[in-house]
Chains A and B, each alone.
Chain A
Amino acid sequence: MEQLICRDVSLGYEGNAIISGLNFSIGSGDYLCIVGENGSGKSTLMKTLLGLIPPLSGEIVRGGGLCANEIGYLPQQTAIQRDFPASVTEIVLSGFQAHCGMRPFYNKEEKRTALENMERLGITDLAKRCYRELSGGQQQRVLLARALCATTKLLLLDEPVAGLDPMVTADMYALIDSLNKEGVTIIMISHDICAAVKYASHILHIGDVLFFGTKQEYLRSDVSKYFSGECVKR
């Protein structure tokens, strides 16, 4: 079943298109990897998919009974103020913000799931720490835990492993993969083409040439040749 469909979408800022004529669709349970050079518009595409930026033309349709509050999101950069007082637990719990509807407080179940997600990412011991005093990689893991709390059907990740050490990176990929196996649709932006080829079911290549297709189609296409180098040949 199609969860997200892009029909002839162009996107950009203030009327200047960065990408135009984009057509693709993602079915539930897919694992889509978005690749492309710096500044090619990957993050912009993700924000457009999330409805944070309106598309300049074309339409993005949400299907398969997907509601906004079933989506999780890991931003590439967050403009979080340097002096914002927020503990790790508070931030992870805020992933549930759209689940509780008009209920003012988080329930036991949500608090437990938040703890589980923190455990999964190895940040349980940071629970009481202040977010702004963490290292970049630790902050990334906190935001990932928050994204995991938010998602039940679709998870959008903008460079999830940027800033993570190799151990955690491997764990991270395994975790995303297992979520995908549980039925969560994944849309991930990555510069790690090896991982993209290893885990993804579909690839969207953004740049001078647009490409969308399954991983096998991508590996056979010309687009992959000059972009992805050695991982693909193996």
Chain B
Amino acid sequence: MSEITEKLFMYLELPFVRYAVIVGVLIALCSSLLGVTLVLKRFSFIGDGLSHVAFGAMAVASVLNVSNDMVIVLPVTVVSAILLLSGGRKAKIKGDAAIAMISVGALAFGYLLMNIFSTSSNLSGDVCSTLFGSTSILTLTSKEVWLCVALSVAVVVIFLLFYNKIFAVTFDEDFSKAVGTKAQRYNFLLATVIAVIIVLAMNLVGSLLISALVIFPALSAMRIFRSFKAVTICSAVVSVICAFVGIIISILAGTPVGSTIVAADAVVFIIFYIAGMIRGGVQ
């Protein structure tokens, strides 16, 4: 046992390990806070959809020979997220169908462009990196870490300040509008925050992990808790613990970071699912 802790402390001395822990935990926190709303709005798969959009934008950027493709990728992805999310209940095509449409469309379009103009020699490598993150969580620079810290603080503050409004608008948008809340404004704010966090996290940890971080903690918490506040708090706690434990295990056992975190989240989900069943049976 002491051997393991010793090894752990040795690893935690390394800056890249500390960076990974900080970024992993912060992204886990942000995505779980927003995850509850996303799951309830039927946007669980938005991370996946947006990564395909980013891939399409990347293809356009490389065809146009833009050197820094983030100039195109970031705005395009943010705008798609806002279009998807701020449509609200009035949207003709919504939720899963809208995401599926945009993501499949962008993927096909991007792949087509790249094939026709074939500037890159490593096509499947490019596709892969957008899905699993262009940089690994273990190769973060301090600049990226600070960016992540700043954005996470902003997300948490915005979430706390608008918590009651976010709940009200997500729960019953018509009522919110009827009593004079500018529901569209909050949808827009929420969409922007979500888009920025997803685009950021997509580059840092990959879209696979993002989808998992959005879905699992929220669904786990919803197995057990019945109020919005409790679900939000529980999902944040679960997400942070799973991210931390996942990173530590992956370092100690040498497993891939993203997959280990997802596995930890999945295990917690199963535990909560069973606990929810037992509790439901007792009541």
Contacts and interface: CB of A to CB of B under 8 A. Distances in A.
A81 B229 CA distance: 17
Contact of B227 (A68, A87, A95, A105): A87
Interface in B193-235: 221-222, 225-231
Contact of A98 (B89, B181, B221): B181
A55 interface: no
Contact of A105 (B40, B164, B180): B164
B171 A86 contact: yes
A188 B89 CA distance: 25
A94 B178 contact: no
A148 B78 CA distance: 39
A180 B178 CA distance: 20
Nearest to B222: A85
B189 to A, nearest CB: 13
Interface string B162-189: 1111011001101111111100000000
A84 B180 contact: no
B161 interface: yes
Chain B interface size range? 20 to 34
Interface string B100-139: 0000000000000000000000000000000000000000
Overall SS of chain B's interface: helix
A78 interface: yes
A175 interface: no
B181 A104 contact: no
Interface string A134-149: 0000000000001000
Interface string A70-103: 1111010011110111110111011101101000
Contact of A85 (B89, B163, B174, B226): B226
B153 interface: no
B38 to A, nearest CB: 13
Given A86-B171, A90-B229, A94-B164, A51 B177 contact: yes
Contacts of A194: none
A150 interface: yes
A156 B177 CA distance: 13
Contacts of A73: 175, 178-179
A94 B167 contact: yes
Interface in A42-70: 47, 50-52, 67-70
Given A97-B164, A104-B160, A104-B163, A68 B179 contact: yes
Nearest to A68: B180
A129 B164 CA distance: 19
Contacts of B89: 79
A40 B60 CA distance: 52
Contacts of B176: 97-98
Interface string B5-38: 0000000000000000000000000000000000
Contacts of B178: 50-52, 71, 73, 75, 156
Contact of B165 (A50, A67, A97): A97
B228 A98 contact: no
B174 A133 contact: no
Contact of B179 (A91, A104, A105, A150): A150
B165 to A, nearest CB: 6
A148 B129 CA distance: 53
Given A90-B228, A104-B163, A104-B164, A67 B180 contact: yes
A156 B179 CA distance: 10
Nearest 9 A-B pairs (CB), nearest first? A68-B180, A130-B226, A87-B227, A69-B180, A73-B178, A94-B168, A98-B180, A97-B168, A50-B178
